Amino acid sequence: MKIAIIKYGMGNVSSVQKSLKKLGYDSIITDDHIEIRQADLIILPGVGSFQAGMENLQKSGLADFLTQEVVEKGKPFIGICLGMQLLATLGNEPCKCNGLGWIDGEVKKIKSKLRIPHLGWNNVQITDNKKDFYREFDNLDYYFIHSYHFVVRDSKDATLMVTYDFPMVAALQENNIYAMQFHPEKSQDAGMRLLKKIIDQYA
Protein backbone atom coordinates (compact mmCIF):
# COMPACT_ATOMS: atom_id res chain seq x y z
CA MET A 1 0.00 0.00 0.00
CA LYS A 2 1.04 3.59 -0.49
CA ILE A 3 0.63 6.33 2.11
CA ALA A 4 0.61 10.03 1.25
CA ILE A 5 1.96 12.37 3.95
CA ILE A 6 0.64 15.82 3.18
CA LYS A 7 3.24 18.54 2.71
CA TYR A 8 1.78 21.96 3.51
CA GLY A 9 4.60 23.79 5.25
CA MET A 10 3.51 22.95 8.79
CA GLY A 11 6.39 21.13 10.40
CA ASN A 12 7.63 17.75 11.05
CA VAL A 13 6.74 15.49 8.13
CA SER A 14 9.98 13.53 8.07
CA SER A 15 9.44 11.98 11.51
CA VAL A 16 6.13 10.54 10.36
CA GLN A 17 7.79 9.03 7.32
CA LYS A 18 10.57 7.59 9.48
CA SER A 19 8.05 5.82 11.72
CA LEU A 20 6.13 4.45 8.74
CA LYS A 21 9.36 3.16 7.26
CA LYS A 22 10.23 1.37 10.47
CA LEU A 23 6.78 -0.23 10.39
CA GLY A 24 7.43 -1.33 6.81
CA TYR A 25 5.06 0.97 4.91
CA ASP A 26 5.89 2.91 1.76
CA SER A 27 5.09 6.59 1.96
CA ILE A 28 5.60 9.78 0.03
CA ILE A 29 5.66 13.36 1.27
CA THR A 30 3.62 15.30 -1.24
CA ASP A 31 1.19 18.09 -2.03
CA ASP A 32 0.49 16.79 -5.52
CA HIS A 33 -3.20 16.00 -6.08
CA ILE A 34 -2.53 13.11 -8.44
CA GLU A 35 -0.11 11.44 -6.03
CA ILE A 36 -2.55 11.92 -3.17
CA ARG A 37 -5.39 10.45 -5.23
CA GLN A 38 -3.27 7.38 -5.99
CA ALA A 39 -2.47 6.81 -2.31
CA ASP A 40 -4.39 4.28 -0.21
CA LEU A 41 -4.22 6.33 2.96
CA ILE A 42 -3.59 9.97 3.78
CA ILE A 43 -1.73 11.34 6.80
CA LEU A 44 -1.97 15.02 7.74
CA PRO A 45 0.71 15.84 10.34
CA GLY A 46 1.55 19.34 11.46
CA VAL A 47 2.61 21.67 14.20
CA GLY A 48 2.11 25.41 14.43
CA SER A 49 -0.86 27.73 14.43
CA PHE A 50 -4.37 26.75 13.31
CA GLN A 51 -4.84 29.77 11.12
CA ALA A 52 -1.51 29.35 9.34
CA GLY A 53 -2.33 25.67 8.80
CA MET A 54 -5.71 26.43 7.23
CA GLU A 55 -4.28 29.19 5.06
CA ASN A 56 -1.61 26.83 3.76
CA LEU A 57 -4.18 24.11 2.99
CA GLN A 58 -6.37 26.59 1.16
CA LYS A 59 -3.58 28.25 -0.79
CA SER A 60 -2.58 24.98 -2.36
CA GLY A 61 -6.18 23.90 -3.00
CA LEU A 62 -5.64 21.00 -0.60
CA ALA A 63 -8.53 21.93 1.74
CA ASP A 64 -11.20 21.20 -0.89
CA PHE A 65 -9.29 18.36 -2.47
CA LEU A 66 -8.73 16.50 0.82
CA THR A 67 -12.39 16.99 1.76
CA GLN A 68 -13.35 15.39 -1.53
CA GLU A 69 -10.99 12.43 -1.11
CA VAL A 70 -11.61 11.77 2.58
CA VAL A 71 -15.16 12.87 3.34
CA GLU A 72 -16.85 12.24 0.01
CA LYS A 73 -14.86 9.29 -1.32
CA GLY A 74 -14.05 7.80 2.11
CA LYS A 75 -10.28 7.41 1.79
CA PRO A 76 -8.67 6.38 5.11
CA PHE A 77 -7.16 9.38 6.87
CA ILE A 78 -5.01 10.01 9.95
CA GLY A 79 -4.60 13.53 11.36
CA ILE A 80 -1.84 14.18 13.88
CA CYS A 81 -1.63 17.11 16.33
CA LEU A 82 -2.43 20.22 14.26
CA GLY A 83 -3.61 17.75 11.63
CA MET A 84 -6.31 16.68 14.09
CA GLN A 85 -7.21 20.19 15.18
CA LEU A 86 -7.74 21.36 11.59
CA LEU A 87 -10.62 18.88 11.23
CA ALA A 88 -12.71 21.03 13.58
CA THR A 89 -15.42 23.45 12.51
CA LEU A 90 -13.69 26.35 14.25
CA GLY A 91 -10.26 27.31 15.51
CA ASN A 92 -9.01 30.16 17.72
CA GLU A 93 -5.28 30.32 17.12
CA PRO A 94 -4.44 33.15 17.06
CA CYS A 95 -8.04 34.30 16.36
CA LYS A 96 -11.36 32.79 15.34
CA CYS A 97 -11.25 31.06 11.95
CA ASN A 98 -12.86 28.16 10.10
CA GLY A 99 -11.32 24.72 9.99
CA LEU A 100 -11.99 21.87 7.56
CA GLY A 101 -15.21 21.12 9.44
CA TRP A 102 -15.06 17.33 9.07
CA ILE A 103 -15.71 16.78 12.76
CA ASP A 104 -18.07 19.01 14.68
CA GLY A 105 -16.22 20.98 17.32
CA GLU A 106 -14.04 23.91 18.24
CA VAL A 107 -10.34 24.11 19.07
CA LYS A 108 -9.86 26.28 22.15
CA LYS A 109 -6.95 27.47 24.25
CA ILE A 110 -6.24 25.28 27.31
CA LYS A 111 -7.26 27.29 30.35
CA SER A 112 -5.48 25.99 33.43
CA LYS A 113 -3.27 27.05 36.29
CA LEU A 114 -0.86 24.29 35.29
CA ARG A 115 2.05 24.98 33.00
CA ILE A 116 1.07 25.45 29.36
CA PRO A 117 1.84 23.98 26.84
CA HIS A 118 0.68 20.57 28.00
CA LEU A 119 4.08 19.08 27.22
CA GLY A 120 5.35 15.58 27.80
CA TRP A 121 4.18 12.01 28.22
CA ASN A 122 0.68 11.47 29.52
CA ASN A 123 -1.50 8.38 29.71
CA VAL A 124 -4.70 8.11 27.68
CA GLN A 125 -8.01 6.52 28.64
CA ILE A 126 -10.45 4.71 26.38
CA THR A 127 -14.04 5.94 26.16
CA ASP A 128 -17.26 4.08 25.40
CA ASN A 129 -16.65 4.67 21.71
CA LYS A 130 -14.97 1.93 19.64
CA LYS A 131 -13.75 0.44 22.87
CA ASP A 132 -12.78 -2.91 21.38
CA PHE A 133 -10.42 -1.33 18.89
CA TYR A 134 -8.74 1.02 21.38
CA ARG A 135 -8.72 -1.17 24.51
CA GLU A 136 -5.10 -2.28 24.10
CA PHE A 137 -3.98 1.37 24.19
CA ASP A 138 -5.78 2.15 27.42
CA ASN A 139 -3.47 3.81 29.93
CA LEU A 140 -0.43 3.88 27.61
CA ASP A 141 1.71 7.03 27.65
CA TYR A 142 1.85 9.22 24.56
CA TYR A 143 3.83 12.36 23.83
CA PHE A 144 1.75 15.56 23.86
CA ILE A 145 2.79 19.10 23.06
CA HIS A 146 -0.07 21.56 22.62
CA SER A 147 -1.62 24.73 24.02
CA TYR A 148 -5.02 24.31 22.34
CA HIS A 149 -7.42 21.40 22.59
CA PHE A 150 -10.27 19.99 20.51
CA VAL A 151 -13.68 20.40 22.15
CA VAL A 152 -16.02 17.98 20.35
CA ARG A 153 -19.66 18.76 19.94
CA ASP A 154 -20.63 15.06 19.92
CA SER A 155 -18.79 13.09 22.59
CA LYS A 156 -19.27 9.98 20.41
CA ASP A 157 -16.39 11.17 18.23
CA ALA A 158 -13.82 10.93 21.06
CA THR A 159 -12.04 7.58 21.31
CA LEU A 160 -9.21 8.40 23.75
CA MET A 161 -9.09 11.03 26.48
CA VAL A 162 -6.19 12.55 28.43
CA THR A 163 -6.27 14.44 31.72
CA TYR A 164 -4.21 17.54 32.40
CA ASP A 165 -6.07 19.50 35.06
CA PHE A 166 -9.26 18.41 33.24
CA PRO A 167 -10.12 15.74 30.63
CA MET A 168 -9.32 16.61 27.03
CA VAL A 169 -9.76 14.73 23.77
CA ALA A 170 -6.62 12.75 22.92
CA ALA A 171 -7.97 10.91 19.86
CA LEU A 172 -10.98 11.04 17.58
CA GLN A 173 -12.55 8.75 15.05
CA GLU A 174 -15.43 9.10 12.66
CA ASN A 175 -15.61 6.20 10.18
CA ASN A 176 -12.50 6.41 7.98
CA ILE A 177 -11.19 9.53 9.74
CA TYR A 178 -8.71 8.93 12.59
CA ALA A 179 -7.02 11.71 14.49
CA MET A 180 -4.84 12.18 17.51
CA GLN A 181 -3.69 15.17 19.52
CA PHE A 182 -0.51 13.42 20.65
CA HIS A 183 2.39 12.49 18.38
CA PRO A 184 2.34 8.73 17.68
CA GLU A 185 5.48 9.17 15.57
CA LYS A 186 7.28 10.48 18.68
CA SER A 187 5.74 8.06 21.15
CA GLN A 188 8.12 5.16 20.65
CA ASP A 189 6.48 1.72 20.82
CA ALA A 190 3.07 2.91 21.99
CA GLY A 191 2.84 5.18 18.95
CA MET A 192 4.04 2.55 16.50
CA ARG A 193 1.49 0.05 17.74
CA LEU A 194 -1.39 2.47 17.30
CA LEU A 195 -0.32 3.55 13.81
CA LYS A 196 0.13 -0.06 12.77
CA LYS A 197 -3.26 -1.12 14.05
CA ILE A 198 -5.04 1.68 12.19
CA ILE A 199 -3.10 1.30 8.93
CA ASP A 200 -3.26 -2.51 8.84
CA GLN A 201 -7.04 -2.40 8.58
CA TYR A 202 -6.58 -0.94 5.11
CA ALA A 203 -3.44 -2.77 3.99
Partner 1 sequence: MLKCRIIPILTFSGLALVKTKKFAGNARMVGNAVQAAKVFNSRNVDELAFLDIYASDQNRKINLQMVRSIINECFMPVAIGGGISTIKDIQDLLAIGADKVIIKSKIIKNPEFINEAANIFGNQCITLAIDAIKEGSDYFLYNRLGKTIPLVDFLNKIASFNFGEIILTSVNNDGMMSGFDIELVQLVEKLIKVPIVVSGGAGEPAHFKELFSKTNIEAVGAASIFYFTRYTSYDLKMAISSVGRPVRIINESFVPLN
Q: If binding is defined by CB under 8 A, does position 188 make contact with partner 1?
A: yes
Q: Are 134 and 178 in contact (CB under 8 A)?
A: no
Contact characters 134-153, partner 1, x per CB under 8 A: -------x-x-xxx------
b/e per residue 150-179 (b: at least 16 CB within 10 A): bebeeeebbbbebebeeebbbbbbbebbbb
Q: If binding is defined by CB under 8 A, does position 119 make contact with partner 1?
A: yes
Least distance (Å) from partner 1 to the CB of residue 104?
Answer: 25
Q: If binding is defined by CB under 8 A, does position 121 make contact with partner 1?
A: yes
Q: If binding is defined by CB under 8 A, does position 111 make contact with partner 1?
A: no
C-alpha count within 13 angstroms, C-beta hemisphere, residue 194: 32
CA atoms of 178 and 83, how far apart (whole Å) = 10
Judged by CB under 8 A, which stretch of 16-24, 60-68, 70-78, 174-182 contacts partner 1? 16-24
Instruction: Mark whether 35 is an active-site residue.
Output: no
Exactly one of 118, 146, 149, 183 is catalytic; name it: 183
Rounded (5°) CA angle 177-180-181? 140
Q: If binding is defined by CB under 8 A, does position 51 make contact with partner 1?
A: no
Q: Which helix (H) or strand (E) holds 101?
A: none
Q: If binding is defined by CB under 8 A, does position 15 make contact with partner 1?
A: yes
Q: If binding is defined by CB under 8 A, does position 23 make contact with partner 1?
A: yes
Question: Is the peptide bond preceding residue 117 cis, with omega within 30 degrees of 0?
Answer: yes
CA atoms of 41 and 20, how far apart (whole Å) = 12
Least distance (Å) from partner 1 to the CB of residue 159?
Answer: 20
Task: Provide the residue count of the chain.
Answer: 203
For partner 1, which is the closer residue by CB, 38 or 112? 112
**Cα distance from N-terminal residue to C-terminal residue, the chain:** 6
Least distance (Å) from partner 1 to the CB of residue 17?
Answer: 9
Least distance (Å) from partner 1 to the CB of residue 108?
Answer: 16
Tell me which residues touch partner 1 (CB under 8 A). 11-12, 14-15, 18-19, 22-24, 47-49, 52, 115-123, 141, 143, 145-147, 163-164, 183, 185-193, 196
- Tell me the catalytic residues: 81, 183, 185
